[in-house]
Amino acid sequence: MKEYVVQAPTCLGIETRALFRRKALEVIEQILAAGDEAPLVIDVSLTRAVDSAGLGVLVLIQRRAAEVRRSVRLRGPSEELRFLLVMTRLDDRFICEGPASL
């Protein structure tokens, strides 16, 4: 199955959110242009910190993907990110793949 992967920055927050958001939304548009049913995969295996701005941009990306009926997968989320998603009740919006990378 074909997939479209966007690498998340090491620190996903206020300073990196704009560029990351732009890249992810461009990939969603590529998926649509290609007519693929493929999901958007956000590789967070190297991401060590996510603040509220970073969490917000993940939600924005997920909402845009949902608008065009695409799922968003988080590849290699850390235990901290998984916990953050649960605590904010956002865990049902994303499909988490694989264990956190060490």
Q: What is the pLDDT of residue 102?
A: 44
Q: Supply the pLDDT for residue 14.
A: 95
Q: Sorting pLDDT into bands at 50, 70 and 90, what band is 101?
A: very low
> What confidence score (pLDDT) does residue 1 get?
65
The pTM score is: 0.90
Query: Which domains are present in the chain?
Result: 4-97 (3.30.750.24)
Higher-confidence residue of 99 and 81: namely: 81
Give CA–CA dist 64/45, Å, rounded: 22
Residue type, 34: A
What digits encode the pLDDT tens for the residues 58-98? 999 999 999 999 999 999 999 999 999 999 999 999 999 98
pLDDT tens digits for range 16-60: 999 999 999 999 999 999 998 889 999 999 999 999 999 999 999
| Alpha-carbon separation of residue 23 from 19, 26, 83, 96 (angstroms) | 6, 5, 25, 20
